[in-house]
Amino acid sequence: MSDKKGKPVPLANEGLPPGERGLFCDAPPREYAPAAKIVEDFWNWARSQSLWILGFGTGCGAIELRPLMTSRYDMYRFGIQPRPTPRQSSVFVIGGYASVKTLKRIVRSYEQMMGPKFVVALGSCTINGGMYWDSYNTIKRIDQYIPVDVYIAGCMPRPEALLAGFQELKRIIRAGKAEGQNLYARDFERYKANQKRVIKDWNMPDYNW
């Protein structure tokens, strides 16, 4: 916030002051080839059975995560549990509409997550803007900015729908199709361009993990 009024912050990490260079990565993300078939299958099974959700309630969909965590729907049964830090979590649940201000945090949190990472987007508003199609502050398609694995439609999706969505995510992971991290690395330029088009005061480094 403080550097907003001052000089424009250089975008690429080469321009960072020397003191801050060490805080950020200085290489663009790269794609990771999957391991040998049988190993990767086993790992994918483990990944699908241990989904750690980043505890970041980005929108009103977060209110249905509470019942999901608690005893009525109990997502722990399926190996899903919340995790407060992006470094350790593997699933990012976009809880509905994302305002531009939140999108900035979403991008940052997403990039800080360790791969393979998965994104579940809740609600109609992440798919095509939903109810806020003419709002000046909410984006309409979240998949323009980060890769999305599963959409759960509804306003808002019920906990049962969320559970079904997570089962679908597990199926995708086990089939080895949830390669959001590699997609992001492959189309890094495009995603960054999209993000910068929307986030007008881009005051963070490009590689911020």
Partner 1 sequence: MRELADMLSGRYGAREWHDQRKDLSSVTVDASKLRDVLTWLRDEAGYAHLAFATAVDEIERKVFRLTYTVHNYGTAHGILVHCEIDRDRPVMESIHRLWGQAWTYQREMREWYGIDFPGSPRVDEEFVLEGWEGPPMMRRDFDSLAYSDATYAERPGRETRDPAAYMKEKLYPEADA
Partner 2 sequence: MSRPKTPYVAPEERAVPDLDSGKYLVMWQGPNHPGITGNMSLRLVIEGDSVVDCETHVGYLHRGFEKLMERRLWMQNFPLVCRIAVPEPDFNEYCYAAALEELAGIEVPDKAVWLRTLSLEMIRLASFLMWIGGQAGAFGHGTIAQWSVTMRDYVLDLFEELSGGRIYHMYIIPGGVRADVPPGFLRHVLETMTVVEQNLKDIELVMFHNAVMKMRAVGLGYIPPDWVDRYGITGPNARAAGFKRDLRKDRGYLAYPRLSFEPVVGAESDAFERARLRLAEMFQGIDLIRQIVDFLPSEGPFRERLPNPLHWKIPAGETYVAAECTRGEYGFYVVSDGGDKPRRVAVRGPSYTHAVSVMERLVRGVNIADVAGLMVSLHTYPPEIER
Partner 3 sequence: METGILVRVGYALVSLFVITNYGLLLIGSMARISAKVQGRVGQPVWQPYIDIVKSTAKRNSIGHGVMFYLGPVFRLAGGVGTYMFIPAVYGSVLFRNFSDSGDLLLVMYFIFFGQLGMALGASEGGHPYSAIGVSRGLAQMTAFEVPFALSVIAVAIQYRTLDITAIVAAQQGGFWNWTVATNPLAVAAALIAFLGMSMHNPFSIVIAPQEIPIGPPTEYQSNLLGMLQTNRAIFNGAKLVLYMNLYFGGATDVVTMVVKTFLIYFINVFVGQAFPRFRVDQSIRFFLGVPTLIGIASVIIAAI
Site residues for partner 3, window 34-93 (CB under 8 A)? 42-43, 46-47, 49-50, 55, 70-71, 74, 76-77, 79, 81, 84-85, 87-88, 90
Q: Compute the Cα dihedral for 22, 116, 141, 94 and give only its sign.
A: negative
128 contributes a contact to partner 3 by CB under 8 A: no
Q: Kindly state the tokens that stand for 118.
A: 């998965």
Considering only 43-51, 62-70, 160-168, 190-198, which stretch makes contact with partner 1 by CB under 8 A? 190-198
Please tell me the distance from the alpha carbon of residue 204 to that of residue 120, in angstroms, as a whole number: 25
- In this structure, is the dihedral angle defined by the CA atoms of residues 181, 48, 54 and 161, taken in order, positive or negative? positive
Q: Which helix (H) or strand (E) holds 70?
A: none
Smallest gap from Cβ 200 to partner 2, in A, equals 14
Nearest approach, Cβ of residue 142 and partner 1 (Å): 10
Q: Which does 194 bind (CB under 5 to 8 A by kind): partner 1, partner 3, partner 2, none?
A: partner 1
Strands (E), the chain: 51-54, 80-83, 91-95, 118-122, 150-152
Residue-wise DSSP of 43-105: HHHHHHH-EEEE----SGGGGGHHHHHSTTT-GGGGTEEEESSTTT--EEEEES--BHHHHHH
SS3 149: coil
Q: Does 199 bind partner 1 (CB under 8 A)?
A: yes
Site map for partner 1, 60-99, x if CB under 8 A? ----------------------------------------
What is the C-alpha end-to-end distance of the chain, expressed in Å?
Answer: 19
Rounded to 5°, the CA angle 196-202-207 comes to: 80
Maximum pairwise Cα distance, the chain? 54
Question: Which token pair is 185?
Answer: 């690395």
- Of partner 2, partner 3, partner 1, none, which one does residue 155 interact with (CB within 5 to 8 Å by kind)? partner 2
Among 49, 70, 167, 208, binds partner 2 (CB under 8 A): 70
Among residues 7, 37, 72, 200, the one that binds partner 1 under rule CB under 8 A = 200
Pick what 209 binds: partner 3, partner 1, partner 2, none; C-beta below 5 to 8 Å, kind-dependent. partner 3
Positions in the binding site for partner 1 (CB under 8 A): 100-101, 104, 127-129, 133-141, 144, 194, 197-202
Positions in the binding site for partner 2 (CB under 8 A): 1, 54-60, 62-64, 66-67, 69-72, 82, 84, 86, 97, 99, 101-102, 105, 109, 131-132, 134-138, 155-156, 158
